[in-house]
Amino acid sequence: MLRDALYRIGMEYKTQKSAPLKNDPLADFVRNDTTELVKSIIQRDDLLVTASVGQGNWAEIPWVGIFNPEITNSATEGIYVVYLYSSDSSKVYLCQGQGVTSIKKEFGSEQTSELLRRSDLIRTRVPEFKEKFIKGPISLNGTTDLAKSYDNAVAYFKEYLISELPSETDLQNDLRNIVNLYDQLILIGGTDNIETLSFFTNESESENETIEEKRKYVRHSRIERNKNASKKVKEVLGHTCMGCGFNFKRIYGERGQDYIEAHHLIPLHMLPEGKAVQMDPKEDFAVLCANCHKIVHRKKPMLTLEELQNIKGVQMLRKAFASKT
């Protein structure tokens, strides 16, 4: 049970840190058993669940995180859901957090104010969750700079005393609620500013698009740029453009080996509301060369794969490339 897992980590972690990390049973429990347990509760194949107790040495603050790969698959950047333990392991926090490492690299000494600004933006964009969660920041009482920065990265949280953990039902409901918060937050733009949305949106029509359209376009682009999804798509569909038939290796030799772009076939207006997209590499994607991909997205509505293939010039290219195979 989740309650038992959270309790064990809280009760054993502080003492176990005096032992070598390599092959430690508690470390293995956190990284494997606990992440599998969280996966079984949220039942979301589109979300990644990972945990950390440190690398080489024990971390001051152990964590178990839930990541949407549309946004991030790392605790160093983006927004995500995470369990964070206090430095003395007496408390565990369920948080809507954000990566602090990337913020520190960009903003330096101003990282605290930037983290607080983004946390406030998160609460402003999903205010309906104020009744279910507490407003951040939190207090982990960490001693390292990294541990201290976690505090200000939290927008919403639930605090649990290890000695007085809620019921299993309550813990699981809190977890599902914060994953729902995460879904809603991603849907409406996460911590992106309007300027960021405009940068990603269609160059020819961006001035006339609504904020909602811009957000969907950014989300669509992120799906296509998701490294994990893109890799799977190429493994399934290959590396020849499904529009014009162009193959980068055939033209550019080894420099073009395994290069192609992944294109998400679902139109923006059909992206599901309030939840992440579960992607099927074979059914939901096509592989396109850079030219075809740009043309597909250049105007709205975007071209379907069939419409792209029916363009006279594209048909001519397909025949020309086919004749050279």
| pLDDT, tens only, 88-144 | 999 999 999 999 998 899 899 899 999 999 999 999 989 999 999 999 999 999 999
- With vertex at residue 93, the alpha carbon angle to CA 90 and CA 95, rounded to the nearest 5 degrees, is 165
Q: What is the pLDDT of residue 94?
A: 98
Contact predicate 53/29, CB 8 Å: no
Give the global pTM: 0.70
- pLDDT at residue 247 above 50? yes
CA distance 211 to 188: 9
Give the 3-state secondary structure of residue 300. Answer: coil
218: confidence class by pLDDT, cuts 50, 70, 90: low
- pLDDT at residue 315 above 60? yes
- Cα–Cα separations (whole angstroms), residue 291 to 65, 129, 243, 267, 315: 38, 43, 10, 19, 14
Residues in the chain: 325
Task: Report whether CATH 3.40.50.300 matches the domain 2-187.
Answer: no
CA distance 32 to 24: 12
Strand-strand pairing, 48-52 and 91-98: unpaired
Structure confidence by residue, pLDDT tens digits, 17-69: 889 999 999 999 999 999 999 999 999 988 999 999 998 899 999 999 999 88
Q: What is the pLDDT of residue 221?
A: 64
Q: What is the pLDDT of residue 301?
A: 81
Q: What is the pLDDT of residue 199?
A: 45
Q: What is the pLDDT of residue 158?
A: 97
Residue that the structure tokens 């064990």 belong to: 8
Q: What is the pLDDT of residue 195?
A: 46
CA distance 284 to 141: 46
Structure confidence by residue, pLDDT tens digits, 140-172: 999 998 889 999 999 999 999 999 999 999 999
Q: What is the pLDDT of residue 86?
A: 96
184: confidence class by pLDDT, cuts 50, 70, 90: confident
Tokens of 59: 């971390």
Contact predicate 82/95, CB 8 Å: yes
Contact predicate 67/275, CB 8 Å: no
Structure confidence by residue, pLDDT tens digits, 255-306: 999 999 888 887 655 666 555 566 688 888 999 998 999 899 888 788 999 9
Q: What is the pLDDT of residue 271?
A: 65
Give the 3-state secondary structure of residue 160. Answer: strand
Peptide bond between residue 301 and the one before it cis (omega within 30 degrees of 0)? yes
Give the up-direction half-sphere exposure of residue 73: CA atoms within 13 A in the CB hemisphere: 12
Q: What is the mean pLDDT of the chain?
A: 86
Nearest to 44 by CA among 290, 280, 278: 278
- pLDDT at residue 238 above 90? yes
Q: What are the residue ranges spanned by the domains of the chain?
A: 2-187, 207-323
Residue that the structure tokens 């007085």 belong to: 164
